[in-house]
Copies of this chain bind each other. A is one copy, B any other.
């Protein structure tokens, strides 16, 4: 346990250092490089075999190392998985952010649809990585705290869209009152959608779950032999979700 986290911390530290300065010693540079090579091979394995087929020994074999050497870089298989999960969160979050920022800032409906398409397209092109971060949790695996910043990148992007739309008056105020007694639960979302009233927050959360519900259904095969024209169907569903949110079309 102690060894695990410290070694993983080292990995993060060296990774950060690599980004900021141009790496320190040559030793740390080669370490960072090998670490990166391990995650690359692991990601390729993940893409072809899925999370269950990710094997430390196979990664070592492909690198020409003996299996025990991998443990110098990742103290356990779970830690390697964690690295891949963080990468996945970042890749998905970046895809959403890019799609959002490519739209005119005041075309809120367009931004919402672009973000939806971004997550769907990333998910269908990286099904196993998507499964890793939005599918059934891998048994015995508990996400470390330091995955949280990467984890909320995509939902933060959605929050900005909703927040901007509300501020601009593009979201119709909800007809009825918001739900009773959910004020504490709205807390986490208020930070992501500053200034948005609770009733709208819950509408946005509903749209958010509808989005990932649809994508999960598609990626996990529930639409096999059922829906073929998935992009169009998806867009229609996301327009309905936008209407649920109160977002003007």
Given A209-B237, A243-B244, do A134 and B220 touch, yes or no (CB 8 Å)?
Answer: yes
Pair A212/B205 contact, Cβ less than 8 Å: no
Specify which chain B residues have a CB less than 8 angstroms from the CB of A237 in the assembled complex. Answer: 202, 205-206, 209
Specify which chain B residues have a CB less than 8 angstroms from the CB of A228 in the assembled complex. Answer: 184-185
Pair B209/A139 contact, Cβ less than 8 Å: no
Q: How far is the CA of A229 from the CA of B114 in the complex (A)?
A: 31
Specify which chain B residues have a CB less than 8 angstroms from the CB of A226 in the assembled complex. Answer: 185, 188-189
Specify which chain B residues have a CB less than 8 angstroms from the CB of A202 in the assembled complex. Answer: 233, 236-237, 240
Specify which chain B residues have a CB less than 8 angstroms from the CB of A214 in the assembled complex. Answer: 206, 209, 213
Specify which chain B residues have a CB less than 8 angstroms from the CB of A10 in the assembled complex. Answer: none
Interface SS of chain A: helix
Specify which chain B residues have a CB less than 8 angstroms from the CB of A220 in the assembled complex. Answer: 134-137
Interface residues of A (CB under 8 A from B): 49-53, 131-132, 134-140, 179, 181-182, 184-185, 188-189, 202-203, 205-206, 209-214, 216-217, 220-222, 225-229, 232-233, 236-237, 240-241, 243-244
* Choice from B50, B217, B232, B243 contacting A212 with Cβ under 8 Å: B217
Pair B213/A139 contact, Cβ less than 8 Å: no
Q: How far is the CA of A75 from the CA of B208 in the complex (A)?
A: 42
Residue of B nearest to A50 (CB): B139
Q: How far is the CA of A206 from the CA of B211 in the complex (A)?
A: 9
Residue of B nearest to A211 (CB): B213
